[in-house]
Structure 1
Amino acid sequence: MAEGRALAVRVDAPAGPTVGALVVSPPVGREAVVATRTTTALALAAADAGFVAFTYSPSGEGDSADLRPGDDLSEAWTADLAAVLAAARAHVGGELPVHVVGLRVGACLLDGLNGAGPGSRVAWEPVSGRSFLRHHGIIRQDSVDVPVVEDGVELEGVHYTEAQAASLASLRAPCRGPGVLLEEDRRAALRIALGAPYFAHVPMDSVHRIVDGFDRGPARPTTPWRGETTADLMLPDGTRITERRTTLGHLPVVVTTCPGVPMRVGATFSAMGSEVKAGPGRLWADAARRLAPEGVVSIRADRSAIGEDTGPAQIEEPRPYTDGCVDDVTIPAAHLRRYGLPVVGVGVCAGAWSLLRAAQRGVFDEVVAVNPVHWNPREEVYDEVFYRHYHGGDAPSGATNPPSADGPGAADPTRGSAAGRRRDPRRLAAAMLGRLEARRPGTEQRLRTAMERVSKEMAIRHPRVRSALRPDVPLDLVSMLVGPLRGPLTVTLLFGTEEYRIFCGRGGRRAAAAARRHGVDVEVTHDPVCDHSLFSRASRERTLSLLIERLGAPAPTGGGARTGEASTAPGDAPRRVDTCAETS
């Protein structure tokens, strides 16, 4: 607790004696999500060395309480760090050292810890608040084709008021010198906290170098952490809600309720890809707190090897399209079902895929799926080649069964035959491209770009034709995931523009009509403001309004068709869509 604000803190204790403590002051905003594996690896390495490690989310970040109106951002974050440091020192005692490592903007807060007792201070890849705002403002403008809101300062996945942005800009990065750690490999340094989580790099050499440099105090028995696991939060309108941090099975979860309000609906939130349970731009935390006074008891859960479930050997991104992920999303749903509540599953992209697969087991009364783009339900389709293709890497040598015509490492049916090699159209095409490139430099790149566009359009608009031309490319049709669903069940699909094109091209409207005949109430909405990862504030507000509409209404019962498909543009009312051609 910092100045009345509840902080979410992960505590990793050593298996043996304690020699001190570590407080990790993390990055903020989108960088906190990308760097989760690095901060977790640091905490776990410290615990292995005998330190009790405290990793927290500052106010307004992750699962911590929101900043209150009038809170100065930099002062609040400095107070947060001081509060966690004080708790760590009280836990291990005043004689043992308590070390603090600040990463990126988290390193800017170390100057406010003067006279905080024994222990070292490490500023790891520090970046000033002003630089953080400038850099992520550019990323937001370049990566998302949705206008920024006019009030405040909008970055990707985060929005600050003008006062908060000014306070953040005042944070200065420590200068070079003792206690400042900069990575020699600058490309690897950027990958610690920038880009997408699947590009994230965990510099284990630096992690071990930091921990090895800590002073150790006299070993003493480790005392179990007895911190609070339940916190009361106050909403802007004065409503009091309660959040409890616990585990279901092996999964770390946060349960949100509103005391005195009868439970009416259960909701479970699943993050996209390898991101954390607070959701894109903290949307799931915001939605859970907003819906609690409506009688919605919600659980937001990390999936296996993600977020707080990350283990010491899991420094690479886990695969989000697996049978294990499907099992994970059923755990909180089954818990909510014990209360006799109708259960709604909410997820984005890969999280939505897991929920739709789990719905085939009858664990949900409704699924709200935002921007799913892959529809094949078979885990084996999402192999190493798939991930390397969609993450922009090269396929491993000898890889087979790529899921995309664009994927590298595609199977070559003529490999091993001299006659086949002579007849191989790919080799002939490559030879022709080489001759053209020699005559007109740049021709090869232009043709490759054009071919990539054609292949992408083929995958979207004519998946059956593409798969017939490439037998090694598995089919990816909406009916494969939606077809097995049976009522009573409600499925609410929300798409951005590109995702809606994929849905239509892969037979989505036909699959939705077929599902309705089986008693599944399917509603499809297209809104141009919904970027894929919900980076824009407009997309998060649109998703939140949909959740309030769906979960704030009477409890879903499934069955019976309602409306068909709706499309909205910013400021427009929903309307029927009959213009998106469906081909399969």
Structure 2
Amino acid sequence: MTDFAVGPRSIKHITPAVSIDRTAEFTNDPARSTSSRAVTSFETWFGPSDAPLFGSVHLPSSGEARGAAVLCAPLGKEHITTYRGMRQLAERLSAAGLMVLRFDYRGQGDSSGDQLDPESVSNWLSSIEQAVGYVRAAGADRVSLVGLRAGALLASQVAATVGPLESVVLWDPVLSGRSYMREQRALYKMTIGDDDPADASVSILGAVFDPEGAARLESLRIAADDVASTSAPVLCLVRPEDLDSRPVRKLVETTSATLDVAPSQSAFVNPPSFVFSVPTDTVDHVALWISQHQGDATSAVAPSRSDTARVHVRPDGVEVFESIEYRGRDHLLAITTHVESRHDSDAQVVMHGTASEHRIGPVRLWVESARRIATSGVGAIRFDRRGTGDSETVAVNESTSPMSVKAREDVASIVGSLEVPTSSTVHVGMCSGSWHSAYAAQQFGAAAVVLVNTVAWSLRRKRQPVKAATVTAMDSKVASGLFVVAKRVRNAGRVAAKKIPYPVWRAMGSAGVIEVPETMLDSLLSKGVRVEVMLSPDDVAHFRTQRGEPGLQRLRSRGSDPHVDVYAEGDHSLYHRDLRGTVSNRILTTVAEVFDAKVDVPQPPVSITARAL
């Protein structure tokens, strides 16, 4: 009997996959000074049919709006960490009576296109133009433009050409592409290491660019004269340390911008861990400033909506489509990838997000893998748990816990909504997403799981471990002090644990007292699930600390054989380009073998070698 009260071990299709509006009364705190209105939101494809973009629309339920705001997101890891904050801004603005569009640039996020396109920067600028055109076509003739980090740099390039603007917000702007890329590449090298020099593509944390695209990005800078030529009011929000910098002073003087400080910006954009922080006060400040410059007159808005789009065409002409759906009782946003003739596929790959991150996977790995998989006729689905991405309204001081009861309910909800038997599913995940994959397979059944960089090796433990990242996010000296003491006690316990006979250790794992890899792997293998495990150097060390190798020997002595590969290079988060390519290859190979499907599997990077444990 399982310790998790999530539901029975086998479940029916609890909710059909349907697309619905999520409508709610969004009520601001009275002190926040923006009006409160009933709002609705939905996701849609827009733009050219041969290169569709993914967008999220927020608007008053009345169908009357005071104009529109187009939000231009950052790039790479900063896009991931700020995703919920940008969504909260959209919710604030729609509650104040505006139509709002958040969107992914071409080749980024869920939009169509290849992130290694040499014309990536031109594609991003065109994406902003298409986003502005979309809201204007909906009936919103008064448009404001908001850019965060690299989004501000990109927005500044088109501000003078997208028609009259009501206001422009440059939020923690990247003023120079050259400085930005120098910093990002140095950070990648310092924290991740070097890529194989035989591949000239350029890596930063959370993104990879074609050399031509990287060079074009480096050539950009915020042209203050172009922003000033819009004659729109400009708000420039910068970090306290940037207030007196020469580029900021020049920008403010040229544009007559309102200059203000964005506190705690580093924790928002560049958090040191998987715990993300949404600066609600700054979000409210931006929403109020835009609202005050928008005017009060309203007009009818009727944005177009498309739930399905062609996102990829294989060289032999096979077309891949993606459909936007809201699944389960809590209407979790899900995107299914399929060949149109096989929308009702006989097999499905479920891709699980990590911690607070939304559905696209590390450096867009889930998106790109899903589109390769779908060309074989096997379906794929990626989704947002509540409190991540585009599922559920953003809460003030939001904190989302992976592996919580709520998260497990969402996993069960997605599994229950699938149109295929669970025996025809493969679950894929990294870090906490790998735990969710194992949980889904153990509870409901699966053909296979691909577990990447697993750090939680127990499906029975109820207590969620307290991580350093969580304590750091508390910003409390008392909590930090207590954590230091607890860490010393834990380390002493680990030293003592080495003396515990393995049978006792395993029994403690079976009881859910500690984490023992053998117990998780055995629970999957005993249900006939094929198990593929891939571990980066840091995760190999944790696996050994939890005495994983004796467990593997015991499993193999009983005739079970999980496939466990370890790597001498790469990082836990899969920012390392070459390790990520190796992981992609394993995922695709597993799907091809399990379902006897003709999946397009590229050759893995030669610079990364696996060693089987």
TM-score by length of structure 1 reads 0.78
In structure 2, the CA distance between the partners of 1:187 and 1:226, relative to structure 1 (3 Å rule), is: closer
Aligned pair partner of 1:348 in 404, 413, 430: 430
The CA deviation at 1:453 is 12
Residues of 2 paired with 1:28 and 1:116: CA distance? 25
The one-letter code of the counterpart of 2:516 is L
Map of 2:13 onto structure 1: none
The CA deviation at 1:476 is 2.5
Instruction: Indicate whether 1:319 and 2:404 are aligned.
Output: no
In structure 2, the CA distance between the partners of 1:389 and 1:315, relative to structure 1 (3 Å rule), is: closer
1:418-448: CA deviations, max 9, x gaps? Answer: xxxxxxxxxxxxxxxxxxxxxxxxxxxxxxx
Conserved? CA contact 1:280–1:533, under 8 Å: yes
Conserved? CA contact 1:342–1:556, under 8 Å: no
In structure 2, the CA distance between the partners of 1:479 and 1:392, relative to structure 1 (3 Å rule), is: farther
| % identical equivalent positions | 23
The one-letter code of the counterpart of 1:408 is V
In structure 2, the CA distance between the partners of 1:572 and 1:340, relative to structure 1 (3 Å rule), is: closer
**Structure 2 matches for 1:246-325, cutoff 5 A?**
246-249=325-328, 250-260=331-341, 263-313=345-395, 315-325=397-407
Conserved? CA contact 1:528–1:570, under 8 Å: no
Residues of 2 paired with 1:180 and 1:186: CA distance? 9
SS at match of 1:22: strand
The one-letter code of the counterpart of 1:370 is V
In structure 2, the CA distance between the partners of 1:201 and 1:340, relative to structure 1 (3 Å rule), is: closer
Conserved? CA contact 1:38–1:203, under 8 Å: yes
Q: Which 5+ residue runs of structure 2 have no aligned equivalent?
A: 1-45, 229-233, 241-260, 506-511, 598-603
Residues of 2 paired with 1:520 and 1:327: CA distance? 30
The CA deviation at 1:35 is 0.9
Residues of 2 paired with 1:492 and 1:334: CA distance? 23
**Structure 2 matches for 1:474-493, cutoff 5 A?**
475-485=514-524, 486-493=526-533
In structure 2, the CA distance between the partners of 1:257 and 1:196, relative to structure 1 (3 Å rule), is: farther
In structure 2, the CA distance between the partners of 1:574 and 1:479, relative to structure 1 (3 Å rule), is: closer
In structure 2, the CA distance between the partners of 1:518 and 1:351, relative to structure 1 (3 Å rule), is: farther
Instruction: Indicate whether 1:120 and 2:167 are aligned.
Output: yes
The CA deviation at 1:503 is 1.6
Map of 1:414 onto structure 2: none
The one-letter code of the counterpart of 2:569 is V
Relative contact order (alpha carbons < 8 A, sep ≥ 6): 1 or 2 greater?
Answer: 2
Map of 1:137 onto structure 2: 185
Instruction: Indicate whether 1:494 and 2:529 are aligned.
Output: no
Aligned pair partner of 1:14 in 60, 63, 85: 60
Conserved? CA contact 1:323–1:379, under 8 Å: no
Map of 1:105 onto structure 2: 150
Residues of 2 paired with 1:575 and 1:51: CA distance? 55
SS at match of 2:169: strand
SS at match of 2:543: helix
**Structure 2 matches for 1:50-69, cutoff 5 A?**
50-67=97-114
Residues of 1 paired with 2:57 and 2:392: CA distance? 13
Conserved? CA contact 1:273–1:320, under 8 Å: yes
Aligned pair partner of 1:41 in 88, 95, 106: 88
**Structure 2 matches for 1:147-226, cutoff 5 A?**
147-149=195-197, 150-173=199-222, 175=224, 178-184=234-240, 188-196=264-272, 198-214=274-290, 215-218=293-296, 220=298, 223=301, 225-226=303-304
Residues of 2 paired with 1:252 and 1:230: CA distance? 14
Instruction: Indicate whether 1:410 and 2:410 are aligned.
Output: no
The one-letter code of the counterpart of 1:254 is I
Conserved? CA contact 1:334–1:363, under 8 Å: no
1:236-274: CA deviations, max 9, x gaps? Answer: 624310011121122111100123458353100012211
Residues of 1 paired with 2:486 and 2:475: CA distance? 9
Map of 1:230 onto structure 2: 308
In structure 2, the CA distance between the partners of 1:575 and 1:132, relative to structure 1 (3 Å rule), is: closer
Q: How many residues align?
A: 515
Conserved? CA contact 1:483–1:511, under 8 Å: no
Aligned pair partner of 1:241 in 303, 320, 324: 320
Residues of 2 paired with 1:68 and 1:355: CA distance? 27
The CA deviation at 1:80 is 0.4
Larger radius of gyration: 1
The CA deviation at 1:501 is 2.7
In structure 2, the CA distance between the partners of 1:303 and 1:464, relative to structure 1 (3 Å rule), is: farther
In structure 2, the CA distance between the partners of 1:367 and 1:513, relative to structure 1 (3 Å rule), is: farther
Residues of 1 paired with 2:57 and 2:496: CA distance? 46
The CA deviation at 1:358 is 2.3
**Structure 2 matches for 1:442-481, cutoff 5 A?**
458=495, 475-481=514-520
Q: Which 5+ residue runs of structure 1 have no aligned equivalent?
A: 412-450, 468-472, 558-567, 578-584
Residues of 2 paired with 1:461 and 1:269: CA distance? 35
SS at match of 2:340: coil
Conserved? CA contact 1:268–1:343, under 8 Å: yes
SS at match of 1:61: coil
The CA deviation at 1:208 is 1.8
- Per mean C-alpha deviation after superposition, the further-off stretch among 291-300 and 520-529 is 520-529
Conserved? CA contact 1:388–1:395, under 8 Å: no
In structure 2, the CA distance between the partners of 1:317 and 1:168, relative to structure 1 (3 Å rule), is: farther
Map of 2:582 onto structure 1: 542
TM-score by length of structure 2 reads 0.75
Conserved? CA contact 1:232–1:240, under 8 Å: yes
Residues of 2 paired with 1:278 and 1:221: CA distance? 35
The CA deviation at 1:216 is 3.6
